[in-house]
Structure 1
Amino acid sequence: MEYICGITFAPFAARGRFATDEAKKSLALMRERTAANFVIFVPNGVQQTAQSEEICYTTSATMSDDELEEMIAYAQSLGFRVALKPTANCANGTWRAHINFFDEDVPCEPKWGNWFASYTKFQLHYAKIAQKCGCEMFLPGCEMVMSEHREGEWRKLIADIRTEYHGLISYNTDKYQEHRVKWWDAVDVISSSGYYPIDDWEHQLDRIETVVKHYQKPFFFAEAGCMSVTGSSYVPNNWEIQGNAAPGEQAEWYETMFAACVKRDWVRGMALWSWGGELYPRERALARRDYEIYAKPAEQVVASWYRRWQHAGN
């Protein structure tokens, strides 16, 4: 697998957001300023709660198919390799990792079977778009931790996707979960969310390496990032952390992450979280406390590593 120098662009964009000139300008700037050559687009599927059985992707909360296809074509014209990662989210704010049902069906209670039927319809819809548009990779889900033990349903979902999409298939498990997924043999690429503490990268990479070697599959971090907030480098997965703006700490986390990963030849890249479809004024960048890297010191760290890797022919 060719090395991935990637970024997730405008995740969960609502209808109309991809259709603007501003979004296209932002994507072009992302290519220019970071040297990223791989982009992940994340269509939003919405269920009301973590126990809802139906996933909706046809309302104003989700980009239209036409604007997604147009943005894919535009990204490819800029030289990006493109991946789609349709992702389910809960409207009430519950993190998707907590989507869960009884393992044995109980009358009058929501069921895994009904949920997977809706989830499969959601994923196949975007698998067809990925095939039509020539996307390099398809990731049918992200951080669905409480569902991952449902091995049979996940294997069937991936098999169903292969009837519609013929490129690389991965799955984005959450941090610390790489060794818990038992169906990595069903996908082409193993991936996970790399939100690891700044002082724990070597230990976590040692752990992930055992999984990669066991399954003999390529690996990349389908997400990785750190907020520009004091203390975030030690809990980069915590998007609710409070503190002062700390763009230097964010940059240090990125430098540490890249330096650790480059020593492992089985790490075939990453797709960082994230780059917005509507850019904020550059003069406000250093005061922001979020995962964005635009006009922050971390942006320069990313660009330096990505250019280095591409120059080396990774």
Structure 2
Amino acid sequence: MLGIGILAASFINIDLEEKDVEGPVAKYDFKKEPKIKGLTFVAPPRPFSENPMPYIQSVNAEWIAVIPYGFIPKDDHKVAHGSERQWWGEREEGVVETITKAHESGLRVMIKPQIWMHGSWIGDFTLDNDKHWQEWEETYSKYILQYARIAQEQGVDMLCIGTEFKKAMQDNSDYWYHLIDQIRAVYDGPLTYSSNWDEYKDVPIWDKLDYIGISAYFPLTDEKEPSHATLKKEWKPVVKELERFANKHKKKIIFTEFGYLSVDGCAGKTWILEKERDKHNQNQKAQADAFHCLFSTFWDEDWWAGGFFWKWYPEMRPNRKDFYNKDYSPQGKLAEKTIAEWYGKR
């Protein structure tokens, strides 16, 4: 490992913070560590035509999240992965090559196996048949443990054990506890789970993990181009709740995903905007402002470990401004400079 185990913070009980009806929560002095300055790396369909890491380093990123997607096909419940029909970068050979190039460039890596489900969001996935649950568990465990072994072999710096299993996490928590034990037997680095922004309080397994992970698409405002003051105001109650939660569990919070489309209203309901992006005007300034206010809100919070913005295309270059004009990627947009400035901070 690259010494990232030290990121599992030590905590010192120092006082009590009076909160709402849930009662007082002990404040903790979270050990100061460098922020995780990360991005989510989009797996390429073919082997790299050139090394993509220098461009990543140009925005001062220090971590990448590598996503070897698995799939639940239509009318099925079992996890499929590794088919030759999948993109090269999502298969084991592409994942290993990506990790190798990242480490050779001095970048740290989180492997984040993630499930795509045909026609639906994985957060809605659940089963009411014990046999089907058993089959799903067997296929998901095989998928995750494959990448736990790769993480150990390749000296990967962190592993995310799942992403946004809102119903499946709550309906089948015993499975997740057992899975974590299996992963710990294979991989000795830090573990997290990527909960959706509206489910993190209901996840039962934080005590077994090193970090609280959140897909941080908190809806702040539907204004087309809100001011910095408006964005900061809307973040305040979110910060209060996140700080309380971190103190309660004595663990730092990582934004395992965060990001904004480059469209009007991008700080609002991202999941709706994503489906309707063609109806909205491109707005690079709104995207850049949203990034800036997120960083300015959380950067100095010791309980916030940093995170991985969504997302980064390895074959994309800044001069291709026609490429995904309204997409999450900040590449070639105003937000790229904003990210570079914040990630350049020490």
Query: How far off its partner does 1:169 sit?
Result: 0.6
In structure 1, stretches of 5+ residues that fail to align are none
Question: Structure 2 matches for 1:236-251, cutoff 5 A?
Answer: 236-238=270-272, 239-242=274-277, 243-251=280-288
1:65 equivalent in structure 2: 92
Query: How far off its partner does 1:236 sit?
Result: 3.0
For the residues of structure 1 that align with 2:333 and 2:77, how far apart are their CA atoms? 41
For the residues of structure 1 that align with 2:283 and 2:342, how far apart are their CA atoms? 21
Q: Is the CA contact 2:284–2:333 (under 8 Å) kept in the aligned structure 1?
A: yes
1:201 equivalent in structure 2: 235
Larger radius of gyration: 2
For the residues of structure 2 that align with 1:227 and 1:66, how far apart are their CA atoms? 31
Confirm whether residue 20 of structure 1 aligns to residue 86 of structure 2: no
Alignment partner of 2:141 out of 103, 114, 120: 120
For the residues of structure 1 that align with 2:70 and 2:320, how far apart are their CA atoms? 34
Query: How far off its partner does 1:5 sit?
Result: 0.5
Alignment partner of 1:165 out of 172, 187, 190: 187
2:290 equivalent in structure 1: 253
Alignment partner of 1:47 out of 54, 72, 84: 72
For the residues of structure 1 that align with 2:248 and 2:212, how far apart are their CA atoms? 11
Amino acid at match of 2:321: R
Question: Structure 2 matches for 1:1-314, cutoff 5 A?
Answer: 1=7, 2=33, 3-10=35-42, 13=43, 16-17=45-46, 19-22=47-50, 24-25=51-52, 27-32=53-58, 34-49=59-74, 52-59=76-83, 60-62=85-87, 63-90=90-117, 92-102=118-128, 105=130, 111-149=132-170, 150-198=172-220, 199=231, 200-238=234-272, 239-242=274-277, 243-279=280-316, 282-284=319-321, 288-308=325-345, 311=346
Q: Deviations over 1:4-30 (max 9, x none)?
A: 0000101xx36x53x2224x33x3201
For the residues of structure 1 that align with 2:324 and 2:212, how far apart are their CA atoms? 36
For the residues of structure 2 that align with 1:88 and 1:187, how far apart are their CA atoms? 20
TM-score (norm 2): 0.81
Instruction: State the secondary structure of the residue aligned to 2:344.
Output: helix
For the residues of structure 1 that align with 2:323 and 2:294, how far apart are their CA atoms? 21
For the residues of structure 1 that align with 2:206 and 2:185, how far apart are their CA atoms? 19
CA gap 1:121/1:307 in 2 versus in 1, 3 angstroms: same
In structure 2, stretches of 5+ residues that fail to align are 1-6, 8-32, 221-230
Instruction: State the secondary structure of the residue aligned to 1:152.
Output: helix
CA gap 1:72/1:283 in 2 versus in 1, 3 angstroms: closer
Q: Is the CA contact 2:68–2:91 (under 8 Å) kept in the aligned structure 1?
A: no
Q: Is the CA contact 1:82–1:137 (under 8 Å) kept in the aligned structure 2?
A: yes
Q: Deviations over 1:66-115 (max 9, x none)?
A: 2211210110111111110111111x23111121112x63xxxx622221
For the residues of structure 2 that align with 1:281 and 1:253, how far apart are their CA atoms? 20
Length, aligned pairs only:
295
Amino acid at match of 2:127: F
Instruction: State the secondary structure of the residue aligned to 2:244.
Output: helix
TM-score (norm 1): 0.89
Alpha-carbon RMSD across the aligned residues, in angstroms, is 1.8
Q: Is the CA contact 1:245–1:286 (under 8 Å) kept in the aligned structure 2?
A: no
Q: Is the CA contact 1:7–1:40 (under 8 Å) kept in the aligned structure 2?
A: yes
Q: Is the CA contact 1:286–1:296 (under 8 Å) kept in the aligned structure 2?
A: no
CA gap 1:188/1:39 in 2 versus in 1, 3 angstroms: same
For the residues of structure 2 that align with 1:115 and 1:57, how far apart are their CA atoms? 13
CA gap 1:281/1:272 in 2 versus in 1, 3 angstroms: closer
Query: How far off its partner does 1:277 sit?
Result: 2.4
For the residues of structure 2 that align with 1:225 and 1:250, how far apart are their CA atoms? 8
- Structure 1 stretches of 4+ moved >6 Å: none
CA gap 1:299/1:132 in 2 versus in 1, 3 angstroms: same
